């Protein structure tokens, strides 16, 4: 199995790739810290065209609700356009599965004190970061790809 991990050098990515290494699973890292940017369609195409990925785990994103409100264009470019670029590359190159890391922030405003949140609750983001993650989920859901969406809670 060959995987691409976008955001491979972030907090979750580092832990994930360590576990993949222990299991002997091949992966290719794609991270801004190592010069790979999901906002760059040409760069993504180059990596996808030279590898045959069975699955892509898309972790790459700008995180942090407060910073999102401070730098909205950067969050939109990275979290929405970057996700669309990954989705497009997956479709173009026939990737079997896309795993998209979203956020509990997509549900933020829908919690009730009695029951909390469930994944069946409607979208209710309360900040720009949450909005970009909703957009990412919708891009993935409408892509026609086989996908899994994960919404970590902090």
Structure tokens at 46: 């180059």
39-50 average pLDDT score: 97
Looking at residue 101, which CATH number applies to its domain? 3.40.50.720
pLDDT exceeds 90 at position 65: no
135-139 average pLDDT score: 98
Number of domains in the chain: 1
Q: Degrees (nearest 5) of the Cα angle 146, 137, 117?
A: 115
Distance CA 4, CA 49 (A): 12
**Confidence at residue 121, expressed as pLDDT on a 0 to 100 scale:** 81
Among residues of the chain, what percentage have pLDDT more than 70?
94
What global pTM score does this model have? 0.93
At residue 46, the 3 state secondary structure works out as helix
Which structural domain range is residue 98 located in? 2-150
């Amino acid at each position: 199995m060959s995987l691409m991990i976008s955001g491979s050098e972030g907090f979750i990515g580092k832990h994930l790739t360590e576990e993949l290494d222990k299991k002997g699973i091949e992966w290719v890292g794609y991270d801004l810290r190592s010069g790979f940017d999901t906002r760059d369609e040409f760069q993504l195409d180059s990596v996808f065209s030279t590898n045959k990925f069975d699955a892509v785990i898309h972790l790459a994103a700008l995180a942090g609700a407060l910073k999102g409100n401070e730098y909205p264009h950067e969050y939109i470019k990275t979290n929405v356009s970057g996700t669309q670029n990954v989705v497009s590359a997956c479709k173009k190159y026939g990737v079997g599965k896309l795993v998209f890391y979203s956020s509990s922030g997509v549900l933020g405003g829908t919690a009730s004190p009695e029951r909390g949140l469930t994944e069946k609750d409607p979208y209710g983001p309360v900040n720009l970061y949450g909005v970009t993650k909703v957009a990412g989920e919708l891009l993935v859901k409408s892509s026609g790809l086989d996908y899994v969406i994960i919404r970590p809670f902090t």
